[in-house]
Structure 1
Amino acid sequence: MSGFQAKLERYESLAAECQRTAKTANESNQGFYLRASEHYRQLADEVRALIATFDLAA
């Protein structure tokens, strides 16, 4: 389970980092970082749901 928790923390961290970078990026790169942030947030949500499934099964 700790592997999934580590992945969750990593995706959340990457999402936050991309969000911060988007704030300072120039206009042409801002969209890229916002999309990357959203992608990492979706991955974090999926891992969170997977962890919850394991918690329910236990």
Structure 2
Amino acid sequence: MKDFKARAEKLRTDAAECALIRDLATEPHKRELFNRLAEHLDTLAAEVEKAMEDQAKRLARRA
């Protein structure tokens, strides 16, 4: 689980970095690209976190 948590945190960090680059970009197509990347990374992080929650619930039911 710790590995998944670290991966989710890394995805969130990468998303924040993409958002920063998006905010600093001067070309519209680069802003759009980094915006899509930030949104995609946020979605991936949310999916990893959801999978962790689901796994924790399954393990709790077994105990």
Shorter-chain TM range is over 0.9
- 1:15, 1:39 → 2: CA distance? 8
- Unaligned runs of 5+ residues in structure 2 are none
For 1:54, the equivalent position in structure 2 comes to: 55
RMSD between aligned residues:
0.8
Larger radius of gyration: 2
- 1:37, 1:54 → 2: CA distance? 26
- Count of residues paired in the alignment: 58
AA aligned to 2:44 is: L
User: Is residue 32 of structure 1 aligned with residue 42 of structure 2?
Assistant: no
For 2:8, the equivalent position in structure 1 comes to: 8
For 2:44, the equivalent position in structure 1 comes to: 43
- 2:51, 2:9 → 1: CA distance? 14
Aligned identity (percent) is 28
Q: Segments of 4+ in structure 1 off by > 6 A?
A: none
Q: When the two structures are superposed, what TM-score results if normalisation uses the length of structure 2?
A: 0.86
Q: When the two structures are superposed, what TM-score results if normalisation uses the length of structure 1?
A: 0.93
